[in-house]
Amino acid sequence: LQGSQVRDQVREDLVRAVAEYRRVVADHPTGDMAQKSLLRIGAVSSDYLHDPGKAIEAYRMLLEKYPGSTEAVDAQFAVGRHYLKKGDYVAAEKAISQFLAGFPNHAKAAEALLDLADCHSAQKEWQKALDDYQSFLSRWPESPKATEVREKAEWIRRYRFE
């Protein structure tokens, strides 16, 4: 098979996988596999099929139907990331803030707080971005990203407030 043929075959396989995940959701809506299937639909749609609309649709369905599930937490994080990558900073800020409010001690909370700082920086909301960085440093001072975060905070102090 040629490179383009392999790519087409992989895409077809992924589309079939999404269809199977949808079937699981439809046939077993109360089973625990429904949540996992919706999360997978979102991930495959976003990361491999490059169809963010379908990804958001799956994540929203997961959040609506299974709000207390572990998968819903991951979906909320993914929605914020999606909007951030898309450059829709208002929607990203809302989704990320909801994630942080609901799951402040989640393993991805540090990443989410840095994403929120990125939203604020992109919107030139320098005080909010600085507050986000300072919150990060107070909660995770030993993080591998702490040095980078300190530098970003210092940059804001130096070039945006003087």
The pLDDT of 103-125, averaged and rounded, is 96
Q: What is the pLDDT of residues 53-65, one digit of tens each?
A: 999 999 999 999 9
Tell me, what's the pLDDT at 19?
97
Q: What is the pTM of this model?
A: 0.85
Q: How far apart are CA 148 and CA 113, in angstroms?
A: 14
User: Which element (helix H / strand E) includes 17?
Assistant: helix 3-27
Report yes or no: 109 and 103 within 8 Å, Cβ to Cβ: yes
The pLDDT of 11-32, averaged and rounded, is 95
